[in-house]
């Protein structure tokens, strides 16, 4: 197995643009907050770094 180093220091992870943590209430009510965020996301309004 091969591992890649993404950063020189700190956590060696790639973080999502938007972290969304679903709750049990979301699950029980049949909501998918991740899908809702994706469907409402407007890439044209984002400025790339």
pLDDT value of residue 30 = 97
Structural domain includes residue 39: yes
Closest CA to 36 of 26, 46, 48: 26
- pLDDT in 10s for each residue of the chain, 49 residues: 777 777 788 777 777 888 999 999 999 999 999 999 999 998 788 765 5
Domain with 38 in it: 19-49
* d(C-alpha 47, C-alpha 26), whole Å: 30
pLDDT value of residue 8 = 80
Structural domain includes residue 4: no
pLDDT value of residue 7 = 76
Query: How many domains is the chain built from?
Result: 1
pLDDT value of residue 26 = 96
pTM score:
0.58
pLDDT value of residue 38 = 92
Structural domain includes residue 3: no
How many C-beta atoms lie closer than 10 Å to residue 32's C-beta? 13
């Amino acid at each position: 197995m091969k591992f890649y180093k993404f950063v020189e220091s700190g956590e060696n992870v790639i973080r999502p643009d938007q972290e969304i943590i679903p709750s049990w209430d979301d699950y029980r009510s049949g909501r998918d907050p991740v899908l809702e965020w994706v469907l409402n996301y407007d890439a044209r309004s984002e400025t790339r770094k």
